[in-house]
Amino acid sequence: MSQQSGTPGSSAPASPSDVLRYTAFSGDPEGGNPAGVVLDASGLDDEAMLAVAAELGYSETAFLTEADGRAYTIRYFSPKAEVPFCGHATVATAIALAERDGPGDLVFSTRAGTVPVTVARRGDELRATLTSVEPQVTEIAPDDLAEALAALDWPAADLDPSLPPRISYAGARHLVLAAATRERLADLAYDFARLEALMHRIDLTTVQLVWREGPAVFHVRDPFPVGGVVEDPATGAAAAAFGAYARELAVVPEAAVLTLHQGEDMGRPGTLTVELRAGDSRVRVTGTGTRIG
């Protein structure tokens, strides 16, 4: 590390020109989910961080505001608002730090709680594994579910009855809706304002749309209107929430490794690996990443 305590580095406080650009959950700069990363945001207030995120236009930008060794305070802003936790920006930031300081263990203090991250080198790739905060899975009110389906223009008959709707949390709240067919998942044209209004009312970060290809393989999409983005290309927080959902509903065994494919319908394919461990309710999400440009 260039500095063991105080601010996260030796450079001057960040400005928009200091934003690093990484993609998470893909080794291809044209795949996965792009994120902004500011390794020293100690001189930026909330308004400035939001302005940086809005100018960049990615679904989230991560800002390191304090550091103590390999422990950091991290904040996440979409173009419209701060969010409590963002998985892909966490992975992007961890890989950026590993490129600067070497692989190993990191600890991120987020608004949602403490998130440990381990970065390991596998061949030519760096892979980051985040461990979620304690998850929760709850029912969704029938009227709210009906409104979500109406905003998506998804008939209830198009849902997979073996994967019932739930709200799942592993750092942020996501509504999990499972499509019965891959064609249903691929056909996404929703009422942005209507879905955004519902999500604000019931405190959702994204809607996790899912289609099950096999016992442990899923395809997912994530509308993100509350962040000012039509769709998120690869969503680590939602992947963690889905892992909690899958275990809670016994969709998979208590200990399992799930593969989530996301971004294919957007032309930005990415892969998220979700690990569930027996005796540990937290969820681990792993992915690679690379610098853009």
SS (H, E, C) 2-59: CCCEECCCCCCCCCHHHCEEEEECCCCCCCCEEEEEECCCCCCCHHHHHHHHHHHCCC
Q: Residue 6 has what pLDDT?
A: 38
Q: What's the pLDDT tens digit per position in 54-69?
A: 999 999 999 999 999 9
> Domain boundary at 126, 161, 187, which?
126
Would residue 216 count as lying in a domain?
yes
| pTM (predicted TM-score) | 0.93
Helices then strands, each counted (H, E), the chain: 6, 18
Region 11-16 average pLDDT: 44
d(CA 45, CA 166): 36
Do both 268 and 214 map to the same domain?
yes
Domain with residue 246: its CATH number is 3.10.310.10
Q: How many domains does the chain have?
A: 2
> Which of 11-15, 45-49, 246-250 has the lowest average pLDDT?
11-15
Q: For 187, left (φ over 0), alpha (ψ -120 to 50), or beta?
A: beta
What are the tens digits of pLDDT across the range 126-168? 999 999 999 999 999 999 999 999 999 999 999 999 999 999 9
Q: In this structure, how many other beta carbons lie within 10 angstroms of the beta carbon of residue 94?
A: 32
Q: What angle do CA 185, 189, 195 make, to 5 degrees?
A: 100
DSSP per position, 68-111: ETTEEEEEEE-SSSEES--HHHHHHHHHHHHHHH-SEEEEEEET
Band (3; pLDDT cuts 50, 70, 90): very low
Sign of the C-alpha dihedral computed for residues 203, 245, 84 and 96 taken in this order: negative
Domain span at 16: 5-126
Q: Would residue 131 count as lying in a domain?
A: no
- pLDDT score of 18: 87
Kindly tell me if the per-residue pLDDT of 263 is higher than 70: yes
Bridge partner residues of 33 (DSSP): 24
The 10s digit of each residue's pLDDT in 73-106 is 999 999 999 999 999 999 999 999 999 999 999 9
Rounded CA gap, 211 and 213, in Å? 6
Examine the domain organization and report whether 113 and 181 are in the same domain.
Answer: no
Q: Is the pLDDT of residue 14 over 90?
A: no
Q: CA 194 to CA 206: how far, in whole Å? A: 14
Mean pLDDT computed over every residue of the chain: 94
Asked if 44 contacts 63 with a C-beta cutoff of 8 angstroms, the reply is: yes
2: confidence class by pLDDT, cuts 50, 70, 90: very low
Q: Output the pLDDT for position 210.
A: 98
Statement to judge: residues 121 and 161 lie in one domain: no
Q: So what's the pLDDT on residue 293?
A: 80
Residues 173 and 148 grouped into a single domain: yes
pLDDT band, very low/low/confident/very high, at 17 (cuts 50, 70, 90): low
Mean pLDDT of 208-228: 97
Q: Which amino acids are annotated catalytic? A: 60
Judgement on whether residues 170 and 275 belong to the same structural domain of the protein: yes
| Residue 278 pLDDT exceeds 80 | yes
| pLDDT > 80? residue 255 | yes
Of 102, 126, 150, at which residue does a domain stop?
126
Domain boundary among 126, 151, 171: 126
What pLDDT band is residue 9 in, cutting at 50, 70 and 90? Answer: very low
Could you tell me if 206 and 144 lie in one domain?
yes
CB 206 within 8 A of CB 235: yes
Same domain, 53 and 122: yes
Do residues 80 and 187 both lie within one domain? no
Question: Residue 55 CB: number of other CB atoms within 10 A?
Answer: 12
